[in-house]
């Protein structure tokens, strides 16, 4: 009986370990923060973003309005992260 309980506990721990390594899902209405290369932070509402190209266009406008050369944008010198967990979001993944 003790071995069965041990095996169950080990299985639960293995599942927890796998789940903790999964990237967070991003809700379409979730707020994310844009931190530019000059540590400027701007909210970004994902419900308006339909594609990577759309996101890059929004970022280009953000950089231009901030008076920043868009070469930084072309080099993708920015981070998008989830505000509650401060996790970076990989924009190269589908």
What string of DSSP letters covers 13-82? Answer: HHHHHHHHHSPPP--TT-EEEEE-TTS-EEEEEGGG--SHHHHHHHHHHHHHHTT--THHHHTT--EEEE
pLDDT of 24 reads 59
Q: Which helix (H) or strand (E) holds 87?
A: strand 87-88
For the cut 60, the answer to whether the pLDDT of residue 1 exceeds it is: no
DSSP reduced 3-state for 10: helix
First vs last C-alpha separation in the chain: 46
Question: Mean of the pLDDT values across residues 81-88?
Answer: 74
pLDDT(71) > 70:
yes
pLDDT in tens, 14-54: 777 776 665 555 555 667 777 766 667 778 777 777 777 88
pTM, 2 dp: 0.50
């Amino acid at each position: 009986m003790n071995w069965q309980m041990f095996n169950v506990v080990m299985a639960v721990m293995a599942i927890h370990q796998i789940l903790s390594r999964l990237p967070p899902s991003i809700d379409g209405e979730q707020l994310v923060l844009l931190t530019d290369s000059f540590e400027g932070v701007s909210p970004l509402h994902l419900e308006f973003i339909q594609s990577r190209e759309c996101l890059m266009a929004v970022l280009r406008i953000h950089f231009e309005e901030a008076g920043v050369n868009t070469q930084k944008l072309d080099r993708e010198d920015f981070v998008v992260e989830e505000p509650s967990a401060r996790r970076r979001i990989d924009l190269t993944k589908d």
